[in-house]
Structure 1
Amino acid sequence: MTTTIETEIDILAHPERVWAVLTGFPAYPAWNPFIVSISGPLRPGARLSVSIRPPGQAGMAFKPRVLVADNARELRWKGRFLVPGLLDGEHYFRILPQAEGRVKFVHGEHFSGLLEPFLRRSLQGATRQGFLAMNAALKARAEAP
């Protein structure tokens, strides 16, 4: 069983600008309501330290492994809760160029594992709301002068 959450938002900014905001990890506490902190190298195979806070829920920290870090195109990582197969999540951000100076930002995650059926409602509720809040905040920051 798997649950996929996928959200998207149009951003009036060049892909490089959106990428700079998305990968400007030290600034996350100032603007990101969902991923409240993140650190680590952006290269496939590297581990990140990530702290999230879904709306109305307790925060959670984990150390996912970077799968893709394609400049101004895609950032993807895979994280696990405690042990592989309990609850795994493959989180992704895609920056899709549209008309000149605009992108579609796609933000999603595929969840799987033994706990997935029990957490599906929370994932589709609070976690989805966290993605949407982050998308709106990213849009505001990327479009700011």
Structure 2
Amino acid sequence: MKTSEFKQAIEEMGFITTNERDHVFVYLNKSHKDIEWSAASVRVDRIFGFKMFIKHDVKISEEKKRNLAELLFEYASTPLDEREEPKLYYVKCPVTGQYLNKSEGENKAFWWSNAYGNESNKFTREEIESFARKRDYLIDEEVTE
């Protein structure tokens, strides 16, 4: 499970998430982001590292607690290298300064453009390596957004 998928699933349950150093903390609501109102934490740098600590006087259904526990375990048991999204890169031609773009869908088409920053011109390292006509002179720039 990717970290982004985990956080989205937690937030869809009505919880709030924050990243703090090597943990993702799960809070009960937006106005009480402190340890007294936290429901759980999970380590992002260690497999099987998570805690769930809901006070007995907090009103959360048993089903919601169970779902939270299942999500925590699923994420915590995900190997570290499978948690993060792959890095994205732009492919730039050093001669023209243009960026490679791709169309989505069945018939993948490629073209060069001056525009960059949209989804059509971000590539994973795996995609770049799979290009049939990859040239060594092309420049790979990491997306930093």
TM-score, reference length from structure 1: 0.36
Which one has a larger percent strand, Structure 1 or Structure 2? 1
TM-score, reference length from structure 2: 0.36
Flag the structure with more relative contact order, 1 or 2, with Cα contacts below 8 A and sequence separation at least 6: 1
